[in-house]
Copies of this chain bind each other. A is one copy, B any other.
């Protein structure tokens, strides 16, 4: 498969998070841009108030980077993070994409075929096959899944809760970017295509926020699909990937905390930008340098 590398682009991404914390609690965060072969970080900085030691858990399997804090006193916790990221997404032209097949993979990929917290692929198998069973080409099948989600599920950023799963979303037909991604993942897994959740900063997202898409494993690459059509695929800066949002939640709290405020930014620092549309899918994008 011929893969073309885009020229490097340089983004500045960052976030400001403010939590109310009921101590004692442990909190685990996933907000850092991920340093990979195709994402090089410079000038990464994190400031935390009150002044706490963070334990940085570096990704063993390349999934995401976690910051862990032990909070012994109740009160507000603020986190201010920023980094520069040079990205080099790989692009696959349309002609190549028609030839992809799911192909063989080893045991590290297999868990991405199994149901997870928010992606009950087992329960949605009939719906997946009824709607998408007629496609024989895997790439076209995933494009059809992506279009169906966009056309049938109303994008609403603020209506769902941390209980809402793909199972709910196919019945209720509205959700945020994470809900749409969960449906895509669940359908693909039901169709025998390994799929995972992508948490990312996104350039040109209409309302700056963390973004979520899904990736499907086709011929050895994790290709990214975005059923929201809200941001260019080559403007994504990867935070991490996982089986679903539970694996790369912005913040996981073992105890009680409330997110009071979140500001997110993603700015192009250098180089012209030729957006690759998540709607037309004339080109596919792989955010990994082989990872």
Contact = CB atoms under 8 A, between A and B. Distances in A.
Interface of A: 26, 28, 55, 57-61, 63, 66, 104, 106-108, 110-111, 113-117, 120, 122-127, 129-130, 152, 154, 161-163, 167-168, 170-174, 190-192, 242-243, 246-247, 249, 252, 254-255
B66 A113 contact: no
Nearest to A120: B117
A106 B192 contact: no
Contact of A254 (B61, B170, B192, B243): B192
A191 B25 CA distance: 10
Nearest to A116: B117
Contacts of A254: 113, 125, 190-192
A5 B115 CA distance: 36
A228 to B, nearest CB: 17
A67 B12 CA distance: 45
B28 A110 contact: yes
A66, A115, A190 — most chain B CB neighbours (10 Å): A115
A279 to B, nearest CB: 20
A130 B66 contact: no
A172 B123 contact: yes
Contacts of A190: 254
Nearest to A162: B122
A174 B191 CA distance: 18
Given A60-B106, A107-B57, A254-B192, A114 B247 contact: yes
Contacts of A167: 171
Contacts of A63: 107
A106 B57 contact: yes
Contacts of A161: 161
B174 A154 contact: no
